[in-house]
Amino acid sequence: MVAQFLSVVLLGIHIVGGSIALLSAAAAVSTKKGATQHRRFGKWYVIGMSAVFLTSIPLAFLNNNVFLFLIALFSFYLVFSGYRFAKNKSGIPQLQDWVAVAIMLLSGIGMEGMAYMFYEGGDAEGRWVILMVFGLIASILGIVDFVTLWTRTATGKHRIARHLTNMLSGTIATITAVLVVNVDTDPVWIAWLAPTVVITPLITYWNIRTLMPRAKRVA
């Protein structure tokens, strides 16, 4: 009874946090980058996603759901690292950055391992596809961020590019959660992967725009 009540309370906070994150993400994307409003909405987005993460962990344990636990780690890292790239203009990593990227890499390995277990177990829901794709993304982003931290190149345009990539990837996770809860697809992995397929080209475009020399960008 206590566990059930706790699950209901946590789920309520989880939904409120996700709603705040989704609305704040939309507002942040639609405002001028670096402006006061953009930063304000970005902070609310981080707060909302923090609530989602902090409730996901106990919910995962209460429901014995390792799948949810790994997805929660993956999603929150994107937001946390994106926030750190926005705040840390020196490019010099701190302990929290190393811990975060290590957890991201471990979660990527964990997702790939679990994907194999689901596949071998004849997973009819197709969760192995979700974990395989997200595990690959986690590994790639984790390695890129590790190299960026190691070489201390997160400055100037490169810092902004890393901020954009990770924050927008976190936004994909937020949209995915809403889509999965409200839309049924067959197979189930379509709802999980559709936002990634649609938004990733936009992230690539914004990265090219950000890193392109100003003279060429104007032309």
The tokens 């946090």 sit on which residue? 17
Task: Give the count of alpha carbons within 13 A of 9, CB side only.
Answer: 7
Listing DSSP states for 50-66 in one string gives HHHHHHHHHHHHHTT-H
Rounded to two decimals, the pTM is 0.85
* Predicted local distance difference test score (pLDDT) of residue 218: 45
pLDDT in tens, 201-211: 988 988 888 88
The whole-angstrom separation of Cα 25 and Cα 40 is: 11
Residue 21, pLDDT > 50, answer yes
Span 37-79, pLDDT tens digits: 888 888 999 999 899 889 988 888 888 888 788 888 888 899 9
Q: Where are the domains of the chain?
A: 2-218
Residue range 167-192: average pLDDT? 83
CA angle 41/45/49 to nearest 5° reads 170
Please say whether the beta carbons of 20 and 50 come within 8 A. Answer: no
Residue type, 217: R
Higher pLDDT, 11 or 218: 11
Number of residues in the chain? 219
Query: Encoding tokens for residue 15?
Result: 């939904």
What Cα–Cα distance (Å) separates residue 157 from each residue in 18, 153, 170, 214? 30, 10, 20, 11
End-to-end CA distance of the chain: 65
Residue 109 pLDDT more than 90?
Answer: yes
Mean local confidence (pLDDT), 5-27:
87
